[in-house]
Structure formats: structure tokens, C-alpha cells
Amino acid sequence: MERHHPMQPDKKTSAINRLKTVRGHLDAVIAMVEEERYCPEIMKQVSALQGSLEKVNRVLLEGHLETCVLHAVSEGRTAEIVDELMETLRYTPAMTGPTEEAM
């Protein structure tokens, strides 16, 4: 389906900033492995990284809903966009798991 609309500037900035933070955190975790730090400490940091990446997905999905999905619905492409969203949610665990508030 791909009818791309530009990202909202605030969502783009948020996603980029979060991804840069993840990159720095990942470098630190790599260093932990190289230094042979205690495995549970490393695993805790890997889990934190996964959570951070899920937050990026939430930001991206919010932006997608507020732009591309809204446009698709207004153009009468509801069934098409619902199919796309169902596919997206299949590989986006953050959308099917507990919310940040529940944690």
C-alpha cells in the first residue's frame, strides 16, 4: 500500500532522539559483554534496550496513525489501511503488550 506522508516534526525528532539514545546504550552493552561483566547485569541492560526500542515503535505508530492512516480513511481506503495496521501490529509487540502506565 505505501502512500507515504511526511512524518510530523515532533514525532521524527522524538524517534531520532530515542534511537540515538538506544545506539549509545547498545554501545555500552557491547562493552559490558567485551569486559565479560556479570551476565544478569548484561541481560537487564538488553531488556532495557528492548523497552526503549518498543517506545520508538510507539512514537512511530502514533505518527503513522495521525498522518497516513487519517489520510487513508479520509480517502475512503479504510479496508486497505485496516489490513496494513493488522499486519503492522503483528510484528509490533509494544502494541499488544502492557502499556507504559501499566508497568
pLDDT of residue 4: 76
Residue 73 CA to residue 4 CA, distance in Å, equals 14
Which grid coordinates are listed for 29? 552493552
Residue 57 CA to residue 67 CA, distance in Å, equals 15
pLDDT band at 39 (very low <50, low <70, confident <90, very high): very high
What percent of the chain is modeled with pLDDT above 70? Answer: 86
The DSSP symbol for 8 reads P
In CATH, what number does 9-102 get? Answer: 1.20.58.1000
pLDDT of residue 102: 45
Domain boundaries, the chain: 9-102
Q: Quick check: 18 and 52 in contact, CB under 8 A?
A: yes
Q: Quick check: 33 pLDDT over 70?
A: yes
Residue 91 CA to residue 2 CA, distance in Å, equals 17
